[in-house]
Amino acid sequence: MTSAELGQIDVGSWFNRANPQFTHKEYAEQFVSTLKQVFRLFNDDARREAVIYVEMKTDRALQSSNELARSVVQSINKFEFRSRVVVVSFNLNALAFIKQIDDAICTGALFEPKLTARKLISTRRMIAAAIESRADEILLHKLMATRNLVRRAVENNLRPVVWTVDDSKWIRRANALGLHAAITNIPAKMTAALRSGVMPPHFRLESGRVR
């Protein structure tokens, strides 16, 4: 579907029907937002220092993924959000193209515990792939965030991020591992746990609900 077609989908009314326990009248006729609309919301918001993680979901076609990357860069530059955005993707070629267009934009390489034909992708290969794409961060599925992998990432100047963690125990583990950020679906619960613990000043908690 095109962006225009997606923009006509009433996701708010669907949410009310699917989740009666959380229904609110104001959700009705809320449509799928464009990236520009999200940027405009954060631009008008009082929390002007908030960092936005933008995930590019691409197909395998090089041309279409490059078109998407170019469009994302244009939106970032239009709103002057270079210092506020981290563009992430499983498509590392698309991330590399982002860097070709504008090296100042921060990027993050996404990895999940996916079996290859022979074995799980090795730590060495993941680090090498992230470096080759010129990523600034490496985003690891929670099952992959081992002490060794996080250490290797830091040694190679890759800021380690874990996704998606909804158990407050991860706040303590993130501190022990030395993670840069954690992505969650329940920011209120995790923020409460974060405030009650002792975390390094650089640590960020990102909401996985805003894409």
Residue 141 Cα to chain centre, angstroms = 12
Does residue 92 contact residue 132 with C-beta atoms inside 8 Å?
Answer: yes
Question: Mind listing the pLDDT tens digit for each residue in 58-82?
Answer: 877 778 899 999 999 999 999 999 9
| Domain layout of the chain by residue ranges | 32-207
As a whole number, mean pLDDT of residues 176-201 equals: 84
Question: Mind listing the pLDDT tens digit for each residue in 189-199?
Answer: 888 888 876 56
Other beta carbons within 10 angstroms of residue 19's beta carbon come to 11
- Asked if pLDDT for residue 211 goes beyond 60, the answer is no
- Asked if pLDDT for residue 104 goes beyond 80, the answer is yes
Give the global pTM: 0.87
Categorize the per-residue pLDDT at 120 as very low, low, confident or very high, splitting at 50, 70 and 90: low
Does residue 105 contact residue 73 with C-beta atoms inside 8 Å?
Answer: yes
Write down the mean pLDDT value for the chain: 89
Q: Which CATH architecture has domain 32-207?
A: Alpha-Beta Barrel (3.20)
All residues at 6 or more sequence positions from 29 whose CB lies less than 8 Å from its CB, including other chains: 10, 12, 13
| Per-residue pLDDT, 50 | 83
> What angle separates helix 92-101 from helix 62-78, to the nearest 10 degrees?
50
